[in-house]
Structure 1
């Protein structure tokens, strides 16, 4: 091993040791971002719900890895069913498909911090943002389950329902929160039931209740069970297609683990540095080699000029004829010993040229092969043209 490779190896070893020390002394940082991902074990992921959701819905939860528009175009459920959406951004046609199913008797439960404008207009409600204390208390309005509650204390809750149609809607849950500038508490609707056709739309403005952090607390389980108790005991389709689309990367396991990710980046950086320095030290000037020139055309032009200067048109015609007859023998497999009518007929059949053209060519060939025939420049031009037309 030469000195250069030893230097590279020592540098790489030092970097790896330093990164190992940093990783061992590094305190684990908890990711509190709201990702709502079924594969994330962070506090605000949906990993636990993805694993335990069937128990909450009486083993009748069906996960759909398609958009509602694609699913309902390919499938036509005959029975009424439940639909579950958790913090989903759907296109307009998917919302229309869902509302069509609700109109026929299905129920949909939507847990989201935001709702599309077209849904608010069709169901006649408004979700308003507010800015109050971080801690909120969620209760049911039904006296039977009024004691079941949940405390949202890690992040600020975002929305409450306002301006909804009281005749066609029912408040199922409220949120108590402390005012910003005094110690008084106010309440507002955060869980609605809206009648639509033969079915119902359940709107919950706090999807965090289904994340890992809140679902793992035993004191919250009754409230979450109470939310799903409003859905009829039947099949529930949970649309979560974005999770399957985002997990197709072959490096997803490496990127999901910070130590592996750092090791992968160090490896790539080291390979890049090695290639960069190695290429600079070893690359030599590549000599420019001129390609050989094809001088066949120049040679033919020189020979042609020589014949033209000598004025030996007869010899040029004879060579052209011999070349033509040689091609007829090898390519068309026609005997050229006798240039008679039988020859003309065979040449006509195999080339498809007119009998007149064949006849003219044969006359010129015989003239060129006759040593005593008088040949002029025009005969050479005519012969060249006719033979080229026959065997293109």
Structure 2
């Protein structure tokens, strides 16, 4: 290998090492995907909320549901409590929404936190929503405040959104305002709608014997929001409207984040040890390709194996015996080979030829006793007759080959 090739190889290895070192040393990118999944610890996951929920409601049954609400609520009429949905957008569909509202009207609570709501739900509750940009408020972030003076009344800040959803039309006779967006005034010139001077982002409304709570601020339940003090008090204040004497059902079906990972590469690259093992393997493969490409394998000539002459030799000797009419010698060789076959394949001693031997041989070789006795009678007669003709020799050969073929059939079956 020339010095120039070695230099280029060393330069390539140094470049790869530098790239790997840079990738290793740079800070890990923050995943801002709005998953709202229970198991996600990313900023917009709900891992902290689900953990703190069990701390807040220590004496309340908290039931996590991975399936849609319709089949779950249809299986029994004894299900009661609060059903919580948290996601960037929850789309039920007409049939499922009717089932949820029917269940709510029986004295239960439906809690939905979403940036947008389906039209059927808004029409049923006589509501309407609108959005505002963060450029329309003072500063670069949205500020929220609970309206109940008995709760923690401090204004909380959320700075990771460029818009916020609010209820611009509400049924004031049946709706309670739980939270508003501060430092923003609504200029609504629509005479048919009910004007609200301060945007409302969380409302509570009676529905039959039950209650519906809608929050247009689902980010209040994310890890990023709760872990910034005093924001946790805002989330806890919203949870205080839930009846803790009944079970709480947490939905994990309507989530933007996956409940499981479909790609094995996700697990591989999110584990530090496995990720570097994968990188080292790739580097090793590259090095192998570089060095192995320099080798050239010569063509290996095909050497034909030597021909086995044993069969030809045996056939030649047999023809010599046959042409010289030494039938008796051929018969003796044939009989000796047949006895050797019995000893090696059927594991019987040929020292004594009696009735017991013939019965045992017939059973092991899949031949009848009559055929076996006929074969050995022929052998006995040929041993006594020194003058054999070709017809007697061919008959002996036929009997032996038939005997062997029956035994071969038995082995195959």
TM-score (norm 2): 0.61
Residues 1-392 of structure 1 aligned to structure 2 (within 5 Å): 3=3, 7-17=8-18, 30-36=30-36, 42-46=42-46, 48-49=48-49, 52-55=52-55, 57-59=56-58, 81-83=61-63, 90-92=66-68, 96-97=71-72, 100=75, 103-115=78-90, 116-117=92-93, 119-124=96-101, 127-128=118-119, 132-135=131-134, 145=151, 147=153, 152-155=158-161, 173=178, 204=215, 206-233=217-244, 245-246=260-261, 249=267, 251-254=269-272, 267=280, 270-285=283-298, 287-290=300-303, 292=305, 300=311, 303-304=314-315, 307=318, 310=322, 317-351=331-365, 353-369=367-383, 370-376=385-391, 377-390=394-407
Deviations 1:296-349, CA, capped at 9 Å, x for gaps: 6x8547745874694667655543432221232345453424434343233234
Distance 1:39 1:84 in 2: 12
Question: Is 2:165–2:201's contact at 8 Å kept on the other side of the alignment?
Answer: no
Shift of 1:81: 2.3
Q: Decide which moves more: 370-379 or 206-215.
A: 370-379
In the superposition, relative to structure 1, how do residues 388 and 192 fare at CA in structure 2: closer, same or farther (>3 Å)?
farther
Question: Is 2:61–2:248's contact at 8 Å kept on the other side of the alignment?
Answer: yes
Deviations 1:163-187, CA, capped at 9 Å, x for gaps: x9x9xx97675666877999x8685
Question: Is 1:132–1:180's contact at 8 Å kept on the other side of the alignment?
Answer: no
Shift of 1:270: 3.8
Distance 1:315 1:172 in 2: 120
Shift of 1:355: 1.2
CA-based RMSD of the aligned residues comes to 5.3
In the superposition, relative to structure 1, how do residues 161 and 105 fare at CA in structure 2: closer, same or farther (>3 Å)?
farther
Higher Rg of the two aligned structures? 2
Distance 1:28 1:338 in 2: 89
Matched residue count:
355
Question: Is 1:174–1:190's contact at 8 Å kept on the other side of the alignment?
Answer: yes
Shift of 1:140: 6.0
Matched position secondary structure for 1:13: helix
In the superposition, relative to structure 1, how do residues 185 and 210 fare at CA in structure 2: closer, same or farther (>3 Å)?
same
Question: Is 1:367–1:373's contact at 8 Å kept on the other side of the alignment?
Answer: no
Gaps of 5+ in 2: 103-116, 120-127, 135-141, 190-195
Q: Decide which moves more: 145-154 or 6-15.
A: 145-154
Question: Is 1:170–1:193's contact at 8 Å kept on the other side of the alignment?
Answer: yes
TM-score (norm 1): 0.64
Shift of 1:279: 0.9
In the superposition, relative to structure 1, how do residues 351 and 194 fare at CA in structure 2: closer, same or farther (>3 Å)?
farther
Shift of 1:39: 6.7
User: Match of 1:65?
Assistant: none
Q: Decide which moves more: 141-150 or 113-122.
A: 141-150
Question: Is 2:206–2:212's contact at 8 Å kept on the other side of the alignment?
Answer: yes
Question: Is 2:367–2:403's contact at 8 Å kept on the other side of the alignment?
Answer: no
Distance 1:38 1:288 in 2: 66
In the superposition, relative to structure 1, how do residues 32 and 340 fare at CA in structure 2: closer, same or farther (>3 Å)?
closer
Gaps of 5+ in 1: 61-79
Distance 1:119 1:280 in 2: 63
In the superposition, relative to structure 1, how do residues 249 and 348 fare at CA in structure 2: closer, same or farther (>3 Å)?
same
Distance 2:53 2:294 in 1: 60
